[in-house]
Amino acid sequence: ETGVTQTPRHLVMGMTNKKSLKCEQHLGHNAMYWYKQSAKKPLELMFVYSLEERVENNSVPSRFSPECPNSSHLFLHLHTLQPEDSALYLCASSQDDTAGPEKLFFGSGTQLSVL
């Protein structure tokens, strides 16, 4: 069982659909993240949850709605997306410790295509 698991691996949706991406971490971490990876662009941080509270919303459109019901699970709810939202969505987790930066552990991502 990998440390960070994302489902589904691939998702194709229409612009009017509603879908959700799921992330689960088995590492006992207390912080979780959503990143967006588009072709030829740096990874973009979307949301950060630390101790189950959202601490960062990086100017993400409201058609993306995160949910963190507990420290092990993170969701990204999608509705009325645009074709430019097609990308690889990566989930990550870490142990949030202000004594110093901790590495992020990533899942394999969900490849999203919006038609």
Partner 1 sequence: AQKITQTQPGMFVQEKEAVTLDCTYDTSDQSYGLFWYKQPSSGEMIFLIYQGSYDEQNATEGRYSLNFQKARKSANLVISASQLGDSAMYFCAMRDDILTGGGNKLTFGTGTQLKVEL
As given in the structure block, the two tokens for residue 23 are: 């992330």
User: Degrees (nearest 5) of the Cα angle 107, 54, 25?
Assistant: 25
Where in 4-33 is the site for partner 1 (CB under 8 A)? 31, 33
Q: Among all chains, which residue has been given the structure tokens 């994302």?
A: 6
Angle at 74 between CA 49 and CA 6, to 5 degrees: 130
Binding of residue 62 to partner 1 (CB under 8 A):
no
User: Considering beta carbons, is residue 13 or 104 the nearer one to partner 1?
Assistant: 104
By beta-carbon proximity to partner 1, the closer residue of 13 and 45 is: 45
| 34 touches partner 1 (CB under 8 A) | no
Burial 29-49 (b: 16+ CB within 10 A, else e): bbbbbbbbeeeeeeeeebbbb
Contacts with partner 1, 92-111, as mask; x by CB under 8 A: x-x-x-x-xxxxxxxxxx-x
Where does this chain bind partner 1 (CB under 8 A)?
31, 33, 40-43, 45, 48-50, 55-56, 88, 90, 92, 94, 96, 98, 100-109, 111
